[in-house]
């Protein structure tokens, strides 16, 4: 460990500062003091402070800070960040936090950043959120549910309802497969994303699409849908965004408005699919999209074929692309491209 005397913890000209693990500010930073009046970018990587208050005093001492990067990956350390970011000037925030079990029990997040435009947030789901992100335009979320809680079948921990309300003004939203699961388990009420134009999410063969129909229904102005891999866990709750509906359920007559396919009401014009391997299930899902997305203009499909398979005499790539091109399309304006 290498200490930094707080007496010299200042600069009037510094624009960018990175402090990595092994360094720490000794003593206490006096509240209300301006330490870096010109600092625009700050990165803290596994940096320890005496307490949470000292951390916030440091951030407050950078009055024109625009970019903040926090990375805490070592659970054995006692990191400075404990869920609070408050600043009137920060525009870009990147957080990767892997809290220890002890710290996670009381894990709460408070984002009071009214000027924030871009958020990249990766951590376990917090017990609760307090959010002021009125200027946010783009969010990238990787919110995970602790495996030990799943394994022990404990009661649901965490609530992302207020977080989703706080980011409901975004124009672009990127979600990991873990985030889909957390939204399904830990959200009481899904807000309406009136400004959302681009929705991107990842799929995982062990995680279902239960929350996808709700997300699509709550995004009335969505124009671009990006899906990284169509392979996901088949459940009875994936809804009609998925083609993996049980035969028994398919045979039931549609008697309510809730039975209407969420895809048919989507305004999506561009569909991007990556990691496509052309399996029967994937082809079935592609058919489901093409038959129900009525406003589609462009479909971009990233075919995942190994070089050896591509050079094979049977030309697997050609067979995969031909099968997609032969699928029926609701929209006569729909053009399919491969990459």
Q: What is the pTM of this model?
A: 0.88
pLDDT (0 to 100) of residue 155:
64
pLDDT (0 to 100) of residue 20:
83
Size of the chain in residues = 339
Q: 112: Cβ–Cβ under 8 A, 6 or more apart, which residues?
A: 85, 86, 87, 130, 131, 132
pLDDT (0 to 100) of residue 34:
82
Distance CA 95, CA 141 (A): 10
Closest C-alpha to 95, from 124, 130, 123: 123
Distance CA 286, CA 181 (A): 22
Cα–Cα distance list, 216 to 55, 189, 267, 316 (Å): 39, 14, 10, 33
User: Between the ranges 5-14, 17-26, 65-74, 300-309, where is the mean pLDDT highest?
Assistant: 65-74
* Between residues 266 and 146, the one the model is more confident about: 266
- Structure-derived torsion over alpha carbons of residues 248, 254, 259, 265, reported in degrees to the nearest 10: 130
Distance CA 46, CA 24 (A): 10
Which residue shows structure tokens 């045979």? 251
Which residue shows structure tokens 């459940």? 235
CA 206 to chain centroid, in Å, comes to 17
Please determine, for residue 21, whether its predicted confidence score (pLDDT) is greater than 60. Answer: yes
Q: 338: Cβ–Cβ under 8 A, 6 or more apart, which residues?
A: 300, 301, 302, 303, 321, 324
Which residue shows structure tokens 């947030």? 121
Share of residues in the chain with pLDDT > 90 (%): 56
Please determine, for residue 258, whether its predicted confidence score (pLDDT) is greater than 80. Answer: no
In degrees and rounded to multiples of 5, residue 319 shows phi and psi of -65, -40
Distance CA 152, CA 143 (A): 19
Distance CA 84, CA 29 (A): 17
CB 173 within 8 A of CB 190: no
Burial class, 140, CB count within 10 angstroms (exposed 0-12 / middle 13-18 / buried 19+): middle
Distance CA 273, CA 39 (A): 40
- Structure-derived torsion over alpha carbons of residues 103, 202, 234, 128, reported in degrees to the nearest 10: 30
Please determine, for residue 7, whether its predicted confidence score (pLDDT) is greater than 90. Answer: no
pLDDT (0 to 100) of residue 272:
98
Distance CA 131, CA 112 (A): 6
pLDDT (0 to 100) of residue 215:
94
Distance CA 40, CA 62 (A): 8
Q: 211: Cβ–Cβ under 8 A, 6 or more apart, which residues?
A: 180, 183, 184, 187, 190
Please determine, for residue 333, whether its predicted confidence score (pLDDT) is greater than 60. Answer: yes
91 token code pair:
């525009």
Which DSSP string corresponds to 256-297? SGGGS-GGGG----EEEEEEE---HHHHHHHHHHHHH-TT--
CB 145 within 8 A of CB 178: yes
């Amino acid at each position: 460990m290498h200490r930094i005397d707080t007496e010299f913890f200042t600069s009037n000209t510094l624009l960018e500062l990175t402090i990595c693990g092994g360094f720490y500010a000794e003593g206490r930073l006096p509240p209300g003091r301006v330490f870096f009046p010109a600092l625009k970018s700050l990165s803290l990587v596994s940096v320890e402070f005496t307490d949470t208050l000292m951390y916030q005093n440091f951030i407050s001492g950078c009055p024109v800070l625009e970019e903040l990067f926090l990375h805490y990956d070592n659970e054995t350390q006692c990191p400075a960040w404990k869920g609070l970011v408050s600043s009137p000037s920060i525009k870009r925030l990147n957080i990767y936090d892997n809290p220890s079990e002890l710290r996670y029990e009381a894990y709460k997040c408070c984002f009071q950043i009214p000027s924030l435009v871009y958020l990249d947030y990766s951590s376990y789901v917090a017990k609760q959120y307090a959010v002021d992100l009125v200027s946010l335009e783009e969010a990238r979320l990787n919110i995970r549910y602790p495996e030990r809680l799943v394994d022990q079948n404990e009661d649901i921990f965490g609530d992302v309802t207020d977080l989703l309300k706080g980011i409901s003004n975004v124009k672009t939203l990127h979600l990991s497969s873990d985030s889909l699961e957390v939204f399904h388990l830990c959200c009481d009420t899904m807000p309406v994303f009136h400004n959302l134009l681009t929705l991107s999410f990842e799929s995982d063969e062990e995680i279902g699409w239960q929350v996808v129909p709700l997300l699509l229904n709550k995004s009335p102005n969505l124009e671009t849908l990006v899906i990284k891999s169509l392979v996901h866990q088949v459940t009875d709750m994936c809804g009609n965004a998925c083609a993996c509906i049980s035969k028994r359920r398919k045979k039931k007559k549609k008697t309510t408005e809730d039975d209407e396919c969420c895809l048919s009401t989507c305004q999506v014009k561009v569909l991007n699919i990556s990691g496509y391997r052309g399996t029967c299930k994937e082809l079935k899902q592609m058919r489901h999209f093409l038959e129900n997305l009525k406003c589609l203009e462009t479909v971009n499909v990233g075919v995942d074929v190994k070089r050896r398979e591509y050079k094979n005499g049977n030309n697997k790539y050609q067979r995969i692309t031909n099968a997609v091109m032969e699928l029926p399309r609701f929209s006569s304006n729909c053009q399919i491209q491969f990459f």
